[in-house]
Amino acid sequence: MAGIKYLSGFGSEFASEDPKYPGALPVGQNSPQKPPYGLYAEQLSGSAFTAPRQDNKRSWLYRIRPSVIHKPFTKYDDSKYLTHNWNEQHPNPNQLRWQPFNIPLEKDGIVDFVNGLHTVCGAGDPCSRNGIAIHVYVCNGSMKNSAFYNSDGDFLIVPQQGRLKVTTEFGIMIVDPNEICVIQQGMRFAVEVDGPSRGYILEVFDGHFKLPDLGPIGANGLASPRDFLTPVAHFEDKEIKNFKIIDKYQGTLFVALQDHSPFDVVAWHGNYVPYKYDLKNFMVINSVSFDHCDPSIFTVLTCQSTKPGVAIADFVIFPPRWSVQEDTFRPPYYHRNCMSEFMGLILGSYEAKEGGFLPGGASLHSMMSPHGPDGGCFEAATNAELVPQKVAVGTQAFMFESSLSMKVTKWGEITCQKLDPKYYECWQSLKKHFNEKLKL
């Protein structure tokens, strides 16, 4: 979109000022006695002050009014299905699949991004800062005279249908399907849509997302830091009566009123920023001599736990790619895992589930619940000639993978009425092939 500008890089120190106000960024001192243009200096911290330098996250904002100018918070009841109550339902170890989640119709009235948040599953506790939640958003209208922020953790937003215009304190991001954006803890933002919109959200209560280590892959695989974009400073100086500031705090929404727009940051610098990434820029590695590469080779971002190599959450994609196989089974193998795997589909048809797994839907394979290709996929792949093949053309599937054992909410299991009771049937056609006289 014309007029939207970005800075590039990941985890670096950024600096930006509205080009109409040169010198708005103080030089050499973060909080001078009198900042340029009569602005206020305000720091947004995403880590403990004493965190090691490589982990220390903070940005300085130079704004027209400090964000402390608001009236007291009160309970906000317009979002009915956002929850962190994992005890609503009895645990369910079955393989679960959801048909595409409904987007509100015109007759339902205007539903914006915040009111359209629905929690599907999750684990842990935002109070102790350990855990995750998986939400979907379904909306048909833009946020008006309101802004949202999350005190509990970071949002990784995956649009599936509809473009998002995300206005943040740092500037504006345009996020299309097949792109993602991350809004980190405490950052205020508003979402405008240009029609019916739907997508997925991975929320982490622990730490922040980072690029995975590359190990023997070397310097140039997977997602490149330079392809992550953060907005250039852009502000509005507006007095708006009863502007709503909505805060998600300990899993509950609260609202405070103020008489001005919070998007009044004229300049900023730091390494704690919102950012976006285009999934088509991911550099895929996938040549197989035998067996099958683990999905970790498709990791875009990770939020690590305190155990080395174990993630609170990984964001993994399965993009279009050349699949070059030699004497091995091409699709994902049958599998039981000590991780939880939530999958979604942005567009196209997922290669291991050609039928009932649809864009805008989802699946959850919980810890140690077996899963893998359906019957038709197995038969076709077993008998296919192993020649180089372009797979997942016109498709983008993704996975939220977690070391935590997730529980499904009442909305996810009952209220949404999208759970497919026949999902298990996709494996029932798998035949017995054992023959004691048959030897390769």
Catalytic residues: 292, 335, 341, 365, 371
Edge-first strand order for the sheet with 275-278 is 6-8, 229-231, 275-278, 179-183, 154-161, 197-204, 130-139, 117-125, 407-408
Residue 379: which H helix or E strand, with range? helix 375-383
Between CA 266 and CA 66 the distance in angstroms is: 12
Query: Positive or negative, the Cα torsion across 341, 347, 350, 353?
Result: positive
Whether 378 and 405 have beta carbons less than 8 Å apart is answered as no
Distances from the Cα of 99 to the Cα of 215, 359, 360, angstroms: 38, 8, 7
Token pair listed for 195: 């029609």
Between CA 369 and CA 64 the distance in angstroms is: 53
Between CA 87 and CA 162 the distance in angstroms is: 33
Quick one: 87 exposed, middle or buried, by C-beta within 10 A (0-12, 13-18, 19+)? exposed
Whether 211 and 177 have beta carbons less than 8 Å apart is answered as no
Whether 100 and 359 have beta carbons less than 8 Å apart is answered as yes
